[in-house]
Copies of this chain bind each other. A is one copy, B any other.
Amino acid sequence: MCMLLRRPLLLLFVQVAVLAAGAPAQEARSRPNILLILSDDQGTVDLGACGTQDLQTPHLDRLAERGVRFTQFYAAAPVCSPSRAAFLSGRIPQRAGLSGNVDPNNPDAGLPPSTVTIAEHFRAHGYATAQIGKWHLGHSRERQPTGQGFDFGFGHLGGCIDNYSHFFYWNGPNRHDLVRNGVEEYHAGEFFPELCVDEAAAWIRARDEQPWLMYFAINLPHYPYQGHARWLDVYEGLPRARREYAAFLSTMDETLGRLFAVLREQGIDDETIIVFQSDHGHSTEQRAFYGGGDAGPHRGAKFSLLEGGIRVPAIVAGPGVPEGELRGQMATACDWFPTLCTLAGIPQPTHALDGRDLQAVLADAAAPTPHEHFFWKNGGQWALRLGKWKLIWNAQDTTDGRAWKREPGMRLYDLSLDPGETTDLAAEHPKRVDRLRKLAQEWDPTIRYELEEKKE
Contacts and interface: CB of A to CB of B under 8 A. Distances in A.
Contact of A173 (B163, B167, B289): B289
A396 B164 CA distance: 36
Q: Helix, strand, loop or mixed for chain A's interface?
A: loop
A172 B285 contact: yes
A226 B188 contact: yes
Interface string A164-189: 11010101111110000000001011
Given A162-B162, A188-B164, A174 B229 contact: no
Contacts of A174: 223-225, 287-288
A107 to B, nearest CB: 14
Interface string A217-247: 0000001111011000000000001001000
Nearest to A292: B173
B229 A169 contact: no
B164 A289 contact: no
Interface string A188-210: 11110000000000000000000
A190 B287 CA distance: 23
A404 interface: no
Interface residues of A, number: 31
Residue among A172, A244, A287 with the most chain B CB within 10 A?
A172
A165 B286 contact: no
Contact of A229 (B186, B285, B286): B186
Nearest to A186: B229
A400 to B, nearest CB: 15
Given A190-B189, A191-B188, A191-B189, A288 B172 contact: yes
Nearest to A174: B224
A229 B189 CA distance: 12
A424 to B, nearest CB: 32
A225 B229 CA distance: 26
A443 interface: no
Interface string A263-293: 0000000000000000000000111111000
Interface in A125-181: 162-165, 167, 169, 171-176
A119 B169 CA distance: 34
Interface string A336-360: 0000000000000000000000000
A290 B174 CA distance: 10
A226 B285 CA distance: 26
A190 B189 CA distance: 6
Contacts of A190: 189
Given A164-B188, A188-B191, A224-B165, A172 B287 contact: yes
B171 A167 contact: no
Given A162-B164, A188-B191, A172 B226 contact: no
A243 to B, nearest CB: 11
A310 to B, nearest CB: 23
Nearest to A185: B229
A261 B160 CA distance: 38
A223 B289 contact: no
Contacts of A163: 165
A172 B289 contact: yes
Contact of A188 (B176, B186, B229): B229
A165 B160 CA distance: 14
Contact of A162 (B167, B173, B225, B288): B167
Interface in A36-75: none
Interface string A418-431: 00000000000000
A105 to B, nearest CB: 8
A226 B167 contact: yes
A179 to B, nearest CB: 14
A340 to B, nearest CB: 35
Given A174-B224, A175-B244, 15 more contacts: A162-B162, A162-B165, A162-B169, A164-B165, A169-B224, A172-B285, A172-B287, A173-B241, A173-B287, A173-B290, A174-B223, A174-B225, A175-B224, A189-B190, A189-B191
15 contacts: A162-B164, A162-B167, A162-B169, A169-B169, A172-B285, A172-B286, A172-B289, A173-B287, A173-B289, A175-B225, A175-B244, A176-B226, A188-B191, A188-B226, A189-B189
